[in-house]
Amino acid sequence: MAILEVSDLKTSFHTRNGIVRAVDGVSFAVERGETIGIVGESGSGKSVSCYSLMGLIPQPPGRIEGGTALFDGETDLLRCGEAALRTIRGRRISMIFQDPMTSLNPYLRVSTQIMEALQMHSTITRREALKRAITALEEVGIAEAASRVQSYPHEFSGGMRQRVMIAMAMITHPDILIADEPTTALDVTVQAQILELIRERQRANNSAVILITHDLGVVAGMCDRITVMYAGKVVECGTADDIFKRAAHPYTIALQRSIPSLGSKGKPLYTIPGLPPDLSRPIPGDAFALREGIRSGGKWLTTPPPLRQLSDTHWVRESDVILPPLEEVLHDC
Amino acid sequence: MLPSRVSPSSEKLPDLGVDLDAIESGTSLWKDAWLRLRKNRLALMSFWVLVFMVLFCFLGPFFTGQDYRTNNLEKTLLSPQAGHLFGTDDLGRDQLTRVMVGGRVSLGVGIIATTVSLLIGVAYGATAAYVGGKADAVMMRFVDVLYALPFTIFVILLMTLFERSIVLLFVVIGAVEWLTMARIVRGQVLSIKQQEFVEAAVSLGYSSGRIILRHIIPNVLGVVVVYATLTVPAVMLLESFLSFLGLGVQPPMPSWGSLIKLGADNIQLYPHLLVIPAVFFSLTLFSLNFLGDGLRDALDPRSSKD
């Protein structure tokens, strides 16, 4: 049984310019020990989906309009209330953030911050907590953890701070780790180490990992299953092989075309024309078809395209967008 | 409820082979701040000047052998001399004792009223900003309303409603000074609230009270301390203004403000009556400013140079 089952999640922001439907009917599930990836451009609603689960959406202006998020088969995270959510957050579902430079409190020692996470969720002496904090730092690969545990965050580099965040998030052995673009703010050489570390910690705890990213390269190596989002909706989901070898939605194909590869040296890089749509206006049909510079058959401009099942694991949203052959596009550049 | 997944048992933990006591010591924010402050000579000196002032004013009168309120009309307006180190005032009272006793009032009002304003202002401003939305709007409009009340009328009202006393004076001044503090803290908290570490604290399951106390307030302390050291002189001046109107301390009880006023009236013939209390007053204010500046640096862990 899935440890977390999200169905038909709808989150919107009521702003002065209208209602922004940031997440519009998103469903996904994750099993223990599994890694799923949520990919999409900026503003596709991937972060908002996960923030909704954690109750981190500021309300107002945000509002969760509907859907359920069944955690461990019993608790609906969207309706269980602040007090119940607090016992789950940090203990059973942890989160790491995009920017390790700002996600640690600059005024508190690293030890204090890790120990606090532990002491909040269990009865444990200070001494035990300190021991465990040092062990946790060693586990995330910080050398001489005992002498560094009393440092302040500013004495650490970005990669090390992200390691500290991972240590903090994993110290309570959570069932689910949500990683919101954990490597975006890091150096490329550090990115691989951090991803490897997340995977290693996941194996040690048999946790589920939800990886939010816009980097297809990251999900390809990490994830068992992938959900591709566009304009607040799921456009395609399936196993890593489904998405990378049998991609069916034109948006997924276009995303893959935009990955630079080693062989393409000297050639122009493909970019998807236009911009994602303004979500404050209702989009009745296929949002990708509305994108400037995208040609479509016009079938799904006013009626919402349904999801179609391609195989046991692979689902795709209908679309009649026609992507031009790659050679032609690059010739125009 | 003890969560099963977090095992508190120590058996599974390897012996780390390190001295945990050594690591554990020196973890408090204030202890760190004191260590950093000690490296700042000017701030440290100011600290000791203030300690001296407090001891001088609160213990001194027991050793002068003089009373601050006994008139001696045969010995009015004496110059500094043996027996009366700072001379005497227009009613023949020992000026040294009067400076000490006046210092009690001025330092007391400065410290207590500032502390009152600090506690109310920080708690109020931080809560308003953290909760946000309608609660914030209502709370801050209340502050605006109090701001709009003329201060003097407010004080006269409180002084006549309740029995007149020095303690009440302290509280009244504090109750007026917290308004600006609340606004400053609110502004700071609003910007800190946006930072990811607050979001991270929420995602770790901490309660709002804990986040405000442990994660947000330490981040605003620097600004608060600097503003507090500016509040102390403002409060001392307010006190002398109120005393002048007859709403503050009553003669024969002196304060530095009233002593300076008396000195200013006699500046041409008896300058020592002005100079001595003025020197004490200024020295205290300078020290407070240097100490505040030093504290701001000391409270920020990023400023440590070691």
Structure confidence by residue, pLDDT tens digits, B58-68: 888 888 778 88
The band of B6, judged by pLDDT with boundaries at 50, 70 and 90, is: very low
Checking if the pLDDT of A240 tops 50, the result is: yes
| Residue B126: per-residue pLDDT | 92
Checking if the pLDDT of A230 tops 50, the result is: yes
Give residue-wise pLDDT tens across range A72-84. Answer: 888 888 888 888 8
The band of B16, judged by pLDDT with boundaries at 50, 70 and 90, is: low
Which of the residues B20, B194, B197 would you substitute to probe the A interface, choosing the one with the greatest number of A C-beta atoms within 10 Å? B197
Q: Provide mean pLDDT across the span B206-213.
A: 87
Among B8, B18, B195, whose Cβ lies nearest the Cβ of A128? Answer: B8
Which of the residues B203, B216, B221, B223 would you substitute to probe the A interface, choosing the one with the greatest number of A C-beta atoms within 10 Å? B203
Which of the residues A72, A99, A107 would you substitute to probe the B interface, choosing the one with the greatest number of B C-beta atoms within 10 Å? A107
CB contact under 8 A, A116 and B27: no
| Residue B50: per-residue pLDDT | 92
Checking if the pLDDT of B282 tops 50, the result is: yes
Contact B101, B68 (CB under 8 A): yes
* pLDDT-above-90 percentage for chain B: 15
| Residue B304: per-residue pLDDT | 54
Q: B24 — contact with chain A (CB < 8 Å)?
A: yes
Q: B2 — contact with chain A (CB < 8 Å)?
A: yes
Which has more pLDDT, B65 or B140? B140
Q: Provide mean pLDDT across the span B221-225.
A: 86
CB contact under 8 A, A104 and B197: yes
Q: Which residues of B touch A107 (CB under 8 A)?
A: 29, 218-219, 221, 299-301
CA distance B210 to A102: 19
Q: In what order do the strands lie in the sheet with A307-309?
A: A93-96, A176-180, A208-213, A35-39, A225-230, A233-239, A315-317, A307-309
The string over B233-253, giving b where at least 16 C-beta atoms fall within 10 Å of a residue's C-beta and e elsewhere, is bbbbbbbbebbeeebbbeeeb
* pLDDT-above-90 percentage for chain A: 2
Work out the mean pLDDT of chain B and round it to a whole number.
82
Give residue-wise pLDDT tens across range A272-314. Answer: 877 888 887 777 777 787 777 777 777 777 778 888 888 888 8
Which has more pLDDT, B247 or B277? B277
Checking if the pLDDT of B92 tops 80, the result is: no
**Triad B57, B62, B67: Cα angle to 5°:** 90
Among A60, A120, A131, whose Cβ lies nearest the Cβ of B16? Answer: A131
The band of B46, judged by pLDDT with boundaries at 50, 70 and 90, is: very high
| Residue B2: per-residue pLDDT | 40
**Triad B208, A151, A140: Cα angle to 5°:** 85
CB atoms within 10 A of CB B8: 14
Nearest chain A residue to B196, by CA:
A103
Within 8 A by CB and 6+ apart from B156, the residues are B247
Q: CA dihedral defined by A168, A169, A172, A178, rounded to 10 degrees?
A: 180
CB contact under 8 A, B205 and A89: yes
Which pTM was predicted?
0.75
- Cα A37 to Cα A248, A255, B289, distances in angstroms: 17, 15, 55
Q: B135 — contact with chain A (CB < 8 Å)?
A: no
Give residue-wise pLDDT tens across range A95-123. Answer: 888 888 888 888 888 888 888 888 887 78
Within 8 A by CB and 6+ apart from B255, the residues are B102, B105, B106, B109, B239, B240, B243, B248, B249
Q: A152 — contact with chain B (CB < 8 Å)?
A: yes
* φ, ψ at B218 (rounded to 5°): -55, -30
Contact A165, A104 (CB under 8 A): yes
Nearest chain A residue to B12, by CA:
A132
Checking if the pLDDT of B12 tops 60, the result is: no
Among B6, B24, B195, whose Cβ lies nearest the Cβ of A130? Answer: B24
Contact A242, A325 (CB under 8 A): no
Q: Provide mean pLDDT across the span A26-35.
A: 89
Measured in angstroms, the CA of B72 and the nearest CA of chain A are apart by 58
Checking if the pLDDT of B27 tops 60, the result is: no
- Cα A186 to Cα A40, A99, A148, A152, B203, distances in angstroms: 19, 8, 21, 19, 22
Which has more pLDDT, B130 or B91? B130
Q: Which amino acid is at A152?
A: Y
* Span of A32-41, A287-296, B167-176, B186-195 with lowest mean pLDDT: A287-296
CB contact under 8 A, A131 and B300: no
Which of the residues B7, B9, B11, B204 would you substitute to probe the A interface, choosing the one with the greatest number of A C-beta atoms within 10 Å? B204
Contact B57, B100 (CB under 8 A): yes
Work out the mean pLDDT of chain A and round it to a whole number.
83
The band of A33, judged by pLDDT with boundaries at 50, 70 and 90, is: confident
Nearest chain B residue to A51, by CA:
B203
Measured in angstroms, the CA of B139 and the nearest CA of chain A are apart by 18
| Residue B51: per-residue pLDDT | 94
Q: Which residues of B touch A94 (CB under 8 A)?
A: 203-204
The band of B19, judged by pLDDT with boundaries at 50, 70 and 90, is: low
Q: A63 — contact with chain B (CB < 8 Å)?
A: no
| Residue A145: per-residue pLDDT | 82
| Residue B52: per-residue pLDDT | 93
| Residue A120: per-residue pLDDT | 81
CB contact under 8 A, A118 and B13: no
- Cα B9 to Cα A95, A124, A171, distances in angstroms: 25, 9, 14
| Residue B137: per-residue pLDDT | 93
Which has more pLDDT, B195 or B23? B195
DSSP, collapsed to helix, strand or coil, labels residue A180 as: strand
The band of B185, judged by pLDDT with boundaries at 50, 70 and 90, is: very high
The band of B24, judged by pLDDT with boundaries at 50, 70 and 90, is: low
| Residue B122: per-residue pLDDT | 92
Give residue-wise pLDDT tens across range A178-213. Answer: 988 888 777 788 788 888 888 888 888 888 999 998
In terms of DSSP bridges, do strands A4-15 and A18-30 run parallel, antiparallel, or are they unpaired? Answer: antiparallel
Which has more pLDDT, A201 or A60? A201
Among A118, A122, A127, whose Cβ lies nearest the Cβ of B20? Answer: A127
